[in-house]
Chain A
């Protein structure tokens, strides 16, 4: 070591030795209190009879019983599974196709990549304006196709209670495909080029190279993409607010908008808290095993 440390005063050397921990502390404490402190509060209130104002007397699982008996919550959870499933699967497929396309040594790749990522960089509250127009039966796709002479063509998902959730799927896929593409593209680029060249020298067709060598070696990236997309799905909020507002009625409610409605327009804090806890549970069951395996893998 340098002779500098010997000349430092005791406080200075204590500081120097513990500095890494001292400077880490503010971030650590901020995250700890901000996230876990408030989650603890929500968990507590979910066990009370809070209505318009929070009460702190524990009354057992009454809020959860009410929640699971509520038809509106049922719709929201059903929608979450429809939305989440379609959104994750289709975004991954489209993202992979786009990534393979961009991997074909095309020109102006930088600009194309940026355009593909724009939907992710813009607020859905704002781009929702365009989607409302496009999906509006009187204006967008329906009116256009009818204008071509197909008078009976109908595309009214936005105002159809059974189909409204699928319009949210469409907009969400539009928003995320470019993002998934970027993740997959990074994965494609990290595959060992020697193996691929060897396969090409052996005369193996390109599509076989992709399906047999490249894609299987990208398994960790599929997992990361799945984790990111699935937690995005559970948290989806502004998408619904921007497109349907949860309507018609509450046909396109997702858990986050259910919680929002309970907390701010229904004045039912107990319901809001218990629904938030259930959402938290869903995210935990997806994320915790992933984090655990990730940590184990890195420590081995």
Chain B
């Protein structure tokens, strides 16, 4: 746009952008700071919080009192399981819509996406009852299914936008050369689709990792992932900021790190393909 900017102006703009970035990052930074403080120091004024002694006690206590690694592994299983299952179901659907579009393709796509906009509360109670009847309340398998289903429209949509960028001529050329459908998918389409599938997976892992509505309502102790664990931690022990922060840091660290090393995919994924 207005990109003819003088070097000095550019420097000022960069500094302003970083200052705002720090402001935005501050709450996250503050959780990290609090997690390394003792309970007593965590509830003093900000300056005193910063100048007080650093300690790892909170982390030790959180792990000791409530099995952090159990909830962590639940989170991993839910995020990875629901994502893999979703991608397996969605790849063929997205392939079909991107390469063999019909008059109704756009309609079906928008309809699928529209369901994602509906409030989840509308389907919560029947699913809750169904879970009780099937005996899968508070199990990982049940939650994997639900998380897969709620994110399926987004996975289909994301994959579709990526597949659309693959030129159809290449597939046609492969077909002309006598490649079977299986070979076409295996050797031509899949290698070209890997980056798209990768960022779809990243987005979906983040969504499933952060999912709080379903995990809070459909788990108790056994299958609870980190989000549900932290929500339970904050109600009876709401005033224990240091321990709560330690638990929180352990829950957000994987996303912060993964996001930093895959910035492009993160930005594109979180904006549902809008930002290339």
Contact = CB atoms under 8 A, between A and B. Distances in A.
Interface string A166-192: 000000001001110011011011010
Contacts of A144: 45-46
B217 A260 contact: yes
Contacts of A129: 31, 34, 230, 234, 241, 244-245, 248
Interface stretch (A85-93, A118-126, A149-157): A118-126
B181 interface: yes
B231 A242 contact: yes
A179 B270 contact: yes
The secondary-structure label for the interface of chain B is helix
Interface residues of B, number: 101
Report the contact-size class of chain A (Cβ under 8 Å from the partner). Answer: 35 or more
B28 interface: yes
B186 interface: no
B52 interface: no
Contacts of B274: 182-183, 186, 224
B93 A23 contact: yes
Interface in B217-276: 217, 226-227, 230-231, 234-235, 238, 241, 244-245, 248, 251-252, 255-256, 259-260, 263-264, 266-267, 270-271, 274-276
B119 A39 contact: no
Interface string A244-283: 0100000000011001100110000100110111011001
A291 interface: yes
A189 B274 CA distance: 11
Interface string B1-37: 1111100011101101110110011011011001000
A294 B97 contact: no
B234 to A, nearest CB: 7
B2 A272 contact: no
A101 B17 contact: yes
B122 A200 contact: no
B17 A106 contact: yes
Interface stretch (B61-69, B187-195, B205-213): B205-213
Interface in A1-36: 2, 4, 16, 19-21, 23-24, 26-28, 30-31, 34-36
B90 interface: yes
Contacts of A36: 115
Contacts of B100: 19-20
A21 B31 contact: no
A131 B248 contact: no
A68 interface: no
Contacts of A185: 275
A174 B27 contact: yes
A183 B267 CA distance: 10
A241 B212 contact: yes
Interface in B68-121: 89-90, 92-93, 95-97, 99-100, 102, 106-108, 110-112, 114-115, 117-121
Contacts, number: 296
B152 interface: yes
A231 to B, nearest CB: 4
Contact of A123 (B2, B45, B210, B271): B210
A287 B115 CA distance: 10
A81 interface: no
B122 A101 contact: no
B153 to A, nearest CB: 6
Nearest to B251: A126
27 contacts: A19-B100, A20-B100, A23-B92, A24-B108, A31-B152, A104-B9, A104-B10, A115-B21, A118-B25, A118-B256, A119-B28, A121-B210, A122-B210, A123-B227, A123-B252, A125-B231, A126-B230, A129-B31, A138-B43, A140-B46, A182-B275, A209-B1, A242-B234, A264-B217, A279-B122, A283-B119, A295-B110
What 3 pairs between A and B have smallest CB-CB spacing? A23-B92, A38-B123, A130-B27
